[in-house]
Structure 1
Amino acid sequence: MKVSKGNMRLTYKQTEKNPGRSFMARQDTMPCIEQDWHYHKELELIYFMKSTGTRYVGNSIGNFGPGELYLIGSNVPHLFRNHKEYYAAEGSDEGVDLIVVKFERDFLGDNFLNLTESNRIQLLFDQANKGLKFSKAVSYLVHSHMVGLVNSQGLSSIIGILRILDILSISENYQVLCEEEINTTFRKDEKERMAKIISYLNENFHNKIELQEVSDLANMTPNAFCRYFKKRTRKSFSQFLNEIRIRHACKLLIEGKHQIATVCYQSGFNTLTNFNRQFKSLMNITPSEYMKKYETPIAVE
């Protein structure tokens, strides 16, 4: 799972194979998550027991935290990246504790999903092509099964993963991250181009970003780039950038160390009025209401 954190180009990840298992399950503890924006043919369950950061799943952007469980479909580009302080303190503490389970759609055999009893699981796998985030109540239900799966062997491991998939398949407490399936949206060259753009935005969102400089990065004219970006992400460039900035602002507001005006400028907005408008448009709540929701006092600066 460890690669250079400075490189966020899209990569295809070949999942390590264990001859004694038909799927992969492991627990990782580390100072920080270091990975590229990547995809793989396996579906992936990711359960965060300890970690916070920003998630990119297809064209969806959001924050992630402890107790959250995600199911990512086959060939869906995704990235879970910790907040900057994790990397600044790298090597000092084990700031991340997560469980990863990867399996191919037909890992239980060619005919398993065609069984009447497997209908709900087949639908679950189909929905995973949009990316799924389960509620913390569902995470609680599967917690012991996820932990037990890491060290289980033989038939008990199959029983364990079936228990997890059964619980997830009957649950209605989940959020679909993308409006439509995106695993076949990009060709390989398009994925690499989008990865370069996302990397640039992720590293520079707190600064003023001109459309021309991002268009140059994609080797396009501004008009062509805007059409290209909207077609691939189903969002305008400004909307996508504002989402990155607002997710960062949410993190700062929850911490409660800064006044709202400071959060505004540290998140890349140049006026408080625009920040308040964009925040409420995305979050359906004002920044001050958001702070009160998390009972975070405003620090005096």
Structure 2
Amino acid sequence: MKKPLLFKIPSSEKESFRVQYEDQPYFYDPLHFHPELQLTYILESNGTFFIGDNIKNFKAGDILLIGANLTHVFRNDKLYYEDSNEEVRAKAISVFFTETSFGADFFELPEAAKIKDLIKKSGRGLKITGETRDLIAPLLETLKDLEGFFRIIKMLEILNLIAENLESDVEYLSSLSYSKFLKESDSKKINDVFEYVMQNFSENIKLSDVADIANMSVTSFCRYFKLRTRKTFSLFLNEIRVGHACKLLKENKYNISEICYECGFNNISNFNRQFKAITNYTPTEYKKKFNY
């Protein structure tokens, strides 16, 4: 198992910040952090992200800003790891930059005050939504093809658009109380548990098994997990299972009963109850609403 350590972003003397286009079977999936801020636009793929102490599903179209040294991972769904599955790809545009990428004192300029505030607040991890997301998505696609000074101008335009709409089109991810500098032992425990769940959520997962992975008693593990993720382990597991069920419902290849057991639920009534608690729809309503 890889340890979630400092991740080194490749750099070049010819660029002040890095724009990276990814097209892979799946995203880099150990829990990690790096001193650069990361602005990521998911072009294709879905799965679950862990940013700070927030765990949620991600999908194509999502744009996220991750602050410096904030622990994170984008873990693709199970089907992305199947050697026989060549139909799905993990594609994204990511920009890696620091507070000094545009000059040591650039963000001290009064005109850059809002972007400086954005950088500070990115320490919690931000999801860009609404009209702002719609505006910056094509700009990010343009950015990957630009060079030189034009690329700097476009990047500042993107950051300014987010900063100008920080109160209306931004969702904060990690809690205010979260410490982004996790001890290595803490990160490894969370990473090991996360990895185990993503590989085995369709099976019967016992709390005692997961507690053993973390080398803790069940009681200590439950307290530990909630403190670091703001949710119980059972809710986390159900969210992963329901997220997978939503994708299977969209594919329209299986009936609801088959999906129930494929996702690790042991009976239909529990599946329906958990599905509605998390999505506000029953599986049948979900299919109808989204025309599947």
TM-score normalised by the chain length of structure 2: 0.89
3-state SS, counterpart of residue 12 of structure 1:
coil
Taking the aligned partners of 1:252 and 1:178, their CA distance within structure 2 comes to 28
Of residues 38, 48, 69, the one that matches 1:75 is 69
Alignment-derived partner of residue 260 in structure 1: 256
Q: Structure 1 pair 286/183, CA: closer, same or farther in 2 (3 Å)?
A: same
Letter in 2 for 1:73: G
Of residues 12, 18, 34, the one that matches 2:12 is 18
Map of 1:271-286 to 2, 5 A cutoff?
Answer: 271-286=267-282
Structure 1 spans left out of the alignment, 5+ residues: 1-6, 297-301
Pairwise CA distance, 1:101? 0.5
Alignment-derived partner of residue 206 in structure 2: 210
Alignment-derived partner of residue 4 in structure 1: none
Pairwise CA distance, 1:9? 4.2
Pairwise CA distance, 1:88? 2.3
3-state SS, counterpart of residue 144 of structure 2:
helix
Could you tell me the percent identity over the aligned residues?
A: 36
Taking the aligned partners of 1:43 and 1:181, their CA distance within structure 2 comes to 20
Letter in 1 for 2:278: L
Q: CA RMSD in A?
A: 2.3
Counterpart contact for 1:279–1:286, Cα < 8 Å: yes
Taking the aligned partners of 1:253 and 1:129, their CA distance within structure 2 comes to 35
- Please say if 1:121 is aligned against 2:105: no
Counterpart contact for 2:260–2:267, Cα < 8 Å: yes
Counterpart contact for 1:129–1:183, Cα < 8 Å: no
Taking the aligned partners of 1:229 and 1:31, their CA distance within structure 2 comes to 30
TM-score normalised by the chain length of structure 1: 0.87
Of residues 147, 157, 179, the one that matches 1:163 is 157
Q: May I ask how many residue pairs the two structures share in their alignment?
A: 290
3-state SS, counterpart of residue 291 of structure 2:
coil
Pairwise CA distance, 1:94? 7.2
Counterpart contact for 1:27–1:150, Cα < 8 Å: yes
Q: Once the two structures are superposed, what CA deviation does each residue of 1:250-301 show, in whole Å capped at 9, x if it has no partner? A: 21122222222222221111122222222222222222222222110xxxxx
Of residues 239, 245, 260, the one that matches 2:241 is 245
Alignment-derived partner of residue 230 in structure 2: 234
Of residues 214, 219, 223, the one that matches 2:219 is 223
Taking the aligned partners of 2:182 and 2:154, their CA distance within structure 1 comes to 34
Taking the aligned partners of 1:90 and 1:165, their CA distance within structure 2 comes to 40
**Mean Cα displacement is larger for which, 130-139 or 282-291?**
130-139
Letter in 2 for 1:235: K
- Please say if 1:95 is aligned against 2:79: no
Counterpart contact for 1:68–1:133, Cα < 8 Å: yes
Q: Structure 1 pair 177/108, CA: closer, same or farther in 2 (3 Å)?
A: same
Counterpart contact for 2:107–2:115, Cα < 8 Å: yes
**Mean Cα displacement is larger for which, 179-188 or 39-48?**
179-188
Q: Structure 1 pair 269/9, CA: closer, same or farther in 2 (3 Å)?
A: farther
Taking the aligned partners of 2:215 and 2:152, their CA distance within structure 1 comes to 48
Letter in 2 for 1:104: T
Counterpart contact for 1:25–1:102, Cα < 8 Å: yes
Q: Once the two structures are superposed, what CA deviation does each residue of 1:18-71 show, in whole Å capped at 9, x if it has no partner? A: 111111112122333343222111111111222233322233333322222111
Taking the aligned partners of 1:257 and 1:88, their CA distance within structure 2 comes to 18
Alignment-derived partner of residue 193 in structure 2: 197
Taking the aligned partners of 1:51 and 1:220, their CA distance within structure 2 comes to 34
Pairwise CA distance, 1:15? 0.7
Q: Once the two structures are superposed, what CA deviation does each residue of 1:102-138 show, in whole Å capped at 9, x if it has no partner? A: 0113322343333332222123223322222223643
Pairwise CA distance, 1:157? 1.9
Alignment-derived partner of residue 178 in structure 1: 174
Alignment-derived partner of residue 42 in structure 2: 48
Counterpart contact for 2:19–2:144, Cα < 8 Å: yes
3-state SS, counterpart of residue 101 of structure 1:
strand
Structure 2 spans left out of the alignment, 5+ residues: none
